[in-house]
Each structure stands twice: as structure tokens, then as C-alpha cells.
Amino acid sequence: MNRVPELTLEERIVQVEAKLDQLLEMHSNTESGGAEHFLKRENDYLHQALEMSDRQKALFQQELTHYQQSVESLEQQRQELQTELTQVRQILIQQETQIEILRQALTQSQNYAQEIEAQLTQVQKRKEETEASPKPRLEGIFPEILAEKLGISTAEVFQQWRSGELQGWHLGRDQRFYPAR
């Protein structure tokens, strides 16, 4: 329980007088239209509260409109992002397809390179075998001996060779005639 602090006699008298003054004022207000004044003040207060409520309602309506526009804007952005995401996915699928095609082409190129390498190895092996095997050496014939075999003069051998009539023979650097291959 709250204890009322003990007041001095003078303090109690002041309180009682204040209460009496308040009651007298209320009584005189009631007799002289105080109730009407009270009701008018109450009515004014209610009108002010109603006006304030209308202003708050208008503000809330503006906020609601703003939020609705924000929601619509966000929905539009979501749809745009969804469209972009779909496009990015399609691009990724295309790129994955291209990467797969490139991988296949690379594999084919590697296989082709291995085949060429195997062929080069075979060619090198044949070349080494050919170089290692004894070669038949072609012996050149001096123009005089060829002239004797053909029964013509040496000058005629050169003349026929220049005119292309001496087929099957070519003249080497060493000035000997060799059978054409």
C-alpha cells in the first residue's frame, strides 16, 4: 500500500481550499453554461481529432499507393531479371554445346596428328632402311662410247640430245650420259 505522506495542517488546508475552489468553479460553470462550454470544447476536440484522422488517412493512402507502385516496380524488375536469367541459361547451353563440339574437334585433331605421326615414323623408318641398303650405282657412259654404241659420231650424239631425239638418256654434270629413270 502506498502511504500518503503526512502533511502539515497548513498544507492540508491549502489542498482542501484548492479542491473547494475547483468544485465552486465547476458548479458555477454548470450554472452559467459550463456544461455547454465543456461540450463545445469536447466537440471541437473531436472535430480536430477527425481532421487529424482524415489527414492520417490521406497520408496512409499515399503510402499505400507508394508501396503498391514499389511492389509493381519490383514485380516488373523480377520479370525482367527472370527473362535475363532465361537468356543467360540459353547462352550457357549454347556455349556448352560449342565447347563439346570443340572438344570433339580437338579429339579428332589429336587422332589425326597421331595418325600423321605414325605415318611419319613409317616414312622415316623406310628412309633409314633405304639409306642403309646398298644402292645400285648407275654408271655414266662417256659420249664417245655412246656414239660408238649408237653408230654415230660424238657431235651427232650431242646434236640429237639437244634436239630431244636422244630419248632415254640425260647428260650428267660429269659430262657423261646416264639412262633416264
- pTM of the shown model: 0.38
Please provide the size of the chain in residues.
181
Give the percent of the chain with pLDDT over 70.
Answer: 85
> Which residue is it, cell 650428267?
172
What would the mean pLDDT of 65-82 be, rounded to a whole number?
A: 93
Higher pLDDT residue, 87 or 25? 87
| Alpha carbon distance 129, 122 (integer Å) | 10
Give the pLDDT band (50/70/90) at residue 117. very high
pLDDT at 163: 84
Q: Is the pLDDT of residue 100 over 90?
A: yes
pLDDT tens readout for residues 166-180: 777 777 788 777 777
Q: Is the pLDDT of residue 43 over 80?
A: no
Higher pLDDT residue, 51 or 152? 152
Distance from the Cα of residue 166 to its chain's centroid? 76
Q: Is the pLDDT of residue 86 over 90?
A: yes
Q: Is the pLDDT of residue 108 over 90?
A: yes
Higher pLDDT residue, 75 or 8? 75
Are 125 and 133 contacting, i.e. CB atoms less than 8 angstroms apart?
A: no
| Alpha carbon distance 49, 43 (integer Å) | 10
Higher pLDDT residue, 42 or 115? 115
Torsion of CA 91, 95, 97, 103, to 10 degrees: 180
Nine-digit cell at 98?
Answer: 560449342
Are 166 and 158 contacting, i.e. CB atoms less than 8 angstroms apart?
A: no
